[in-house]
Every structure is written in structure tokens, then in C-alpha cells.
Amino acid sequence: EAGVTQFPSHSVIEKGQTVTLRCDPISGHDNLYWYRRVMGKEIKFLLHFVKESKQDESGMPNNRFLAERTGGTYSTLKVQPAELEDSGVYFCASSHFGEQYFGPGTRLTVT
């Protein structure tokens, strides 16, 4: 069974540009989470989908971040416009009940 996949693995963009990160959860997992790790700091929760609905988006830093989950399958996280402080590693995780399975992360660098 395939694990959680994320695309791209790395992205380097200039300040002011737009980037879209994608996460494909494990098939059948209703719960999908986005987390972010800024360099030197802890991994922080961004938001939680249950199927296509946003269950909790309390961790989203501001309205430059937009997350969607089309049809309850894959999810995208768009950053528009990107700022320098958005640099970090963005992790996606999925779960059916309980244990969260993480993807390899997308390393975003904003220059």
C-alpha cells in the first residue's frame, strides 16, 4: 500500500510568487493534516480536513495560505503571495483513526 506522498519535494520561489503544494493521503484515510516546520523550530499544526471539510484551521498563519481537499482525496496548500518567513518544510499526514502517517515533506525556500 502506498504511503502519503507529497509533491514537489523541493520548491524554490521568489518573494511575491505563488506556490502550490500537493498531498496525496493513504487511500481510505478520511483525516488529512498539514503541518509546517520553520527552521530551528518545532513542527506546527496548520489545519485538519475530515474528508473534504475543514475540521480545524486554527493553525493557518494568515490569509495568504489556502488549503483545499477536492472530493475528499488529495489536498493542496497554496501560498499566495509567498513571503520570506514562509520558508520551511511542509508536512502532510493522514489517518483513519488514531495514528497519523506522514509524508516526506516539501521543502519550500522563499528568496
Partner 1 sequence: AQSVTQLDSQVPVFEEAPVELRCNYSSSVSVYLFWYVQYPNQGLQLLLKYLSGSTLVESINGFEAEFNKSQTSFHLRKPSVHISDTAEYFCAVSERNSGNTPLVFGKGTRLSVIA
Query: Omega before 8 cis (within 30°)?
Result: yes
Q: Binders of partner 1 among 52-91, rule CB under 8 A?
A: 55-56, 59, 91
Q: Of 14-22, 30-38, 61-69, 75-83, which part binds partner 1 (CB under 8 A)?
A: 30-38
Of 1 and 99, nearer to partner 1 (C-beta) is: 99
Determine if 102 is a binding residue for partner 1 (CB under 8 A). yes
Cβ neighbours of residue 24 under 8 Å, at least 6 residues apart? Answer: 2, 4, 5, 6, 7, 73, 74
Residue 7 or 101 with smaller CB distance to partner 1? 101
Strands, DSSP E only, in 10-80? 10-13, 19-24, 31-37, 43-50, 53-56, 65-69, 75-79
Q: Is the peptide bond before 61 cis (omega within 30 degrees of 0)?
A: no
Measured from the CB atom, the residue of 1 and 42 that comes closer to partner 1 is 42
- Binding partner 1 by CB under 8 A: which of 4, 19, 60, 79? 4
Q: Which residues bind partner 1 (CB under 8 A)?
A: 3-4, 31, 33, 35, 40-45, 48, 50, 55-56, 59, 91, 93, 95, 97-105
